[in-house]
A and B are shown apart, each in its own frame.
Chain A
Amino acid sequence: MLATVSSATLVGVEGCPVRVEVHVSSGLPGFTVVGLPDATCREARDRVRAALLSSGQRWPSQRVTVNLAPPATRKVGAGLDLAIAVGLLVADDQLDPGCLVERAFLGELGLDGTVRAVPGSLPCIDALTEPEIVVADGAVVEAQLVGRHRIRAVSDLVTLIKALQGAIGWPEPPPPPLPWPLPPEPNLADVRGQPAARYALEVAAAGGHHLLLVGSPGAGKTMLARRLPGLLPDLPRPHALEATRIHSVAGVPLPPGGLIRRPPFRSPHHGASAVSLVGGGTGAMRPGEISLAHRGVLFLDELGEFAPVVLDHLRQPLEEGVIRVSRAAAKATFPARVLLVAAMNPCPCARGGPQGACRCSPQAQQRYTRRLSGPLLDRFDLRVELGRPEIGELMAAAGGESSAVVAARVREARARALSRGVEANVELRQRQLDDVAPLDAAAARLVEGALRAGRLTGRGLSGVRRVALTVADLASDDPPLGGDHVHTALALRCDPSFLAGRVA
């Protein structure tokens, strides 16, 4: 009369085990789902009923109560369908209770009894402790990434029932899809000239420093930004799993093999809302673009066109590497460790720069500059102003170094960072800087001069030291940091006034 089935649901990007309790008893025929289901989950009763009837099973004309425990956690999506259906069959004595032991079920049901994969299968399966898990064919790749469970893949309810009854053996999981080669990432060799911008890109990749590119249209800002992921090393397995979980939850197609090995690159349009950028939503909490770019690159093109309030939402996650979203109905924490690259025009008419071609009124320019709050600008340790490449550069036959050559240097620099106990120099704490990045006499003098001239703030100083350390890493120089390292870090950091009007 009572059956308890194991399954899981999503809380943010984490899986959460759920016990599905199905109770069938005499009383007025009816079907109730309790335990904080969301709308999709509540509709399970209609899907389960149709699927059972389509599969030739009996529907109990009795009172059916389904409880989803723990009752305080909101259950989202259709992934509990399969567990409810199996629990109902057991509670109605159509299946043997033994088939629920040491086994969990995860999948959505179609009205014809088809079993389908749900978004977020990977974190859900990861949260389950049962040794055997029944999933839809489509979830096998993600399920095998976890690697701890025996995975049973079924395509429809009839097959599942027969397998549980022992009438047939468990079907073979479908063969993994043929690996198709990933499209090649854009190569840095395509960029003609622009040695300073290329170098800034290399430093950003090696040290994980956020990068702001300012320049008129045609200066190649977007082209450069798209080449940044190609300079980053492959994700180590734990990071790859983190990224894959998030993409799985968001329903973004995963690469062949299921694991995201290359750093993701996300470039939301500047019309993006705050929720789409940082995550949230009214029903299910969905990860935002900043989480989809976790361990990869978040590229904000036309930074000046984003709504200022949306941009200010990015400040906290950029600092902490996670974003905590709180809504009335739920709370969630999404990972959000990104390398932020932003591009913007120097002014609204985009003709700005020192050539005197800007047509903006000083007021319009001030408004444009104000869109970018000082604290956000402070997060960018690399700020590079780009001019259009000169004709000679464009016509030069030879491109610069290829991505592979630069990526090799980046790998070595990151290895040095790893020896300091961080992934990249950007993660070094203030305290560590004094130990790992001492300044020699010339560099100290230089920094002092920049502080005195008002070119640097306290926070800016740490940023410059981190960048200078990355510059030294790229050159395979050992600390202490010398004058040239600090010179370079300062050259790659335009003072914030560069956005203000150049007029008088």
Chain B
Amino acid sequence: MTLPPEAFATALAGLPRMGPARLASVLGARAPAEAWASVLRGQPWPEPEVRAALGADGAAVQAAWRSAALATDVASVWRRLGDSAVGVTLPGTSAYPAPLVDDIEPPAVLFHLGDLAAIAGRRVAIVGTRRCTATGAGVAHELGRELAARGIAIVSGLAWGIDGAAHRGALAAGATPPIGVVGSGLDVVYPAGQQRLWDAVAESGVLLSEAPLGAHPERWRFPARNRIIAALADVVVVVESHQRGGSFHTVDEADRRGIDVMAVPGSVRNAAARGVNDLLAEGRAPVRDVDDVLIALGLTAATRHRAAADPRPPPLEADRAVLEAVGWQASSLDQIAVRTGRSLPDLAGALDRLCAARWVRREGGWYERTSAGGG
């Protein structure tokens, strides 16, 4: 049985010390089957781009490749892939996602779980910190939901925090299949706690990865993953980011590709918003609501100035002052009590009524105002 080129590419991607750059150089130099044979022979590569990718440590890397390759049976690797629901595409094939074809660093091998057709339409990447505030998660959720409702696919990384919230929003809209890009093999759920989100995205949209089955989420895979997120996006929106947080890597990759980066402004007191505020200071476009993103995409913002009817029952007259005092930043009971000057028994009733009517959300001992959509 002759194996297809994808089988050899998959086997190559599974070798140790085989990053995206080395894989791209090796597969750029030779056809997959031929490259595999060369790895098995272990002789030095004459091609200058491969030598450059191998770097100073080339001999050791090649030795590692060779010993791993000798222990690898390409046919069984291919069978294992075939037994799973994961598919693989190579550049130059018709199935390979169009936005990545002309990319400056296209993935040399791309694994997918789900339907690649999800990548056909307009796409917005929503990224941000894992350690976000409730407000940040709410904004990411809202943007994800409203963009998806308008037929725009959400690209994100399935991480905790902003990434996950954006995808949950997109799934809540149930309108446009989401796109998830991950740093581990498609059978290694990371972070493990996101299993349900992972399954839901694969079910309704598509999950992409450069890593072969069984690959662990090593640290170096995440910057490479961020580059794919940037490459897939028409616009990158950063919702909350710490100063020089991981999102900045996505921003840098977007800049290299000339893709617009937008940022959601945050409070100057919010540590999780330092990074986005820095982006705004650099002159990036702010995202105040979904319309700002739609305008950046060149779509008309039909909803602007349309005051949405708030479905929530209006707060009691007496509770309005408390609602004002809660504000859009999480506040402790102490802070609200100081701002309103009311006694605790009086205040507790007002807050419980506001929570019940969904004007305010309580999380532990903190209270925060919410918008109509619950974000």
Contacts and interface: CB of A to CB of B under 8 A. Distances in A.
Contact of A497 (B272, B356, B364): B364
Minimum-distance CB pairs A-B, first 5? A498-B364, A385-B365, A356-B272, A354-B330, A491-B348
Nearest to B162: A504
A362 interface: yes
Interface of B: 129-134, 136-137, 160-161, 164-165, 168, 191, 193, 240, 242, 269-273, 329-335, 337-338, 344-349, 351-352, 356, 363-366, 368
A87 B235 CA distance: 98
Contacts of B131: 356, 358-360, 503
B266 to A, nearest CB: 8
Interface string A332-356: 0000000000000000000101111
A24 B271 CA distance: 83
Contacts of A385: 332-333, 364-366
A383 B130 CA distance: 27
A504 B334 contact: no
A487 B161 contact: no
Contact of A357 (B193, B271, B345, B368): B271
A487 B349 contact: yes
A487 B334 contact: no
A193 interface: yes
Contacts of A475: 345
B62 to A, nearest CB: 36
A197 interface: yes
Contacts of B273: 356
B272 to A, nearest CB: 3
A501 B130 CA distance: 11
Nearest to A352: B131
A277 B329 CA distance: 41
Contacts of B338: 193, 195, 390, 392-393
Nearest to B271: A357
A31 B335 CA distance: 73
B348 A356 contact: no
21 contacts: A195-B334, A195-B337, A196-B337, A197-B334, A199-B344, A214-B364, A354-B366, A356-B273, A360-B131, A362-B193, A384-B365, A389-B334, A446-B352, A449-B356, A483-B349, A490-B352, A497-B364, A499-B364, A502-B133, A503-B132, A503-B160
Contacts of A196: 332-334, 337, 344
A55 to B, nearest CB: 67
Nearest to A366: B193
Contact of A495 (B269, B364, B368): B364
B364 A357 contact: no
A504 B368 CA distance: 16
Contacts of A360: 131
Given A357-B271, A389-B334, A490-B348, A504 B165 contact: yes
Contacts, number: 128
B335 A390 contact: yes
Contacts of B337: 195-196
B148 to A, nearest CB: 18
A210 B364 CA distance: 18
A351 B356 CA distance: 29
Contacts of B352: 446, 487, 490-491
Contact of A354 (B134, B193, B351): B134
A354 B349 contact: no
Contacts of A492: 344, 348
Interface in A353-394: 353-360, 362, 383-387, 389-390, 392-393
B349 A214 contact: no
B202 to A, nearest CB: 18
Contacts of B191: 362
Given A356-B270, A362-B160, A498 B349 contact: no
A47 interface: no
A504 B366 contact: no
A193 B334 contact: yes
Given A193-B334, A390-B335, A491-B348, 7 more contacts: A195-B334, A195-B338, A358-B131, A487-B349, A492-B344, A502-B363, A504-B137
Given A354-B363, A355-B271, A487-B345, A387 B335 contact: yes
Interface in A466-504: 471, 475, 483-485, 487-488, 490-492, 494-495, 497-499, 501-504
A355 B364 contact: no
Contacts of B356: 449
Given A195-B337, A385-B364, A490-B352, A354 B344 contact: no
A498 B365 contact: yes
A306 to B, nearest CB: 21
Nearest to B364: A498
A194 interface: yes
Nearest to B330: A354
Interface in A182-227: 193-197, 199, 214
B345 A471 contact: yes
Contacts of B334: 193-197, 386-387, 389
A100 B191 CA distance: 79
Max chain A Cβ within 10 angstroms of own Cβ: one of B193, B240, B331, B345: B345
Given A362-B193, A393-B338, A449-B356, A355 B330 contact: yes
Contacts of B365: 214, 383-386, 494, 498
A215 to B, nearest CB: 8
A355 B349 contact: no
A351 B271 CA distance: 10
Nearest to B352: A487
A340 B81 CA distance: 58
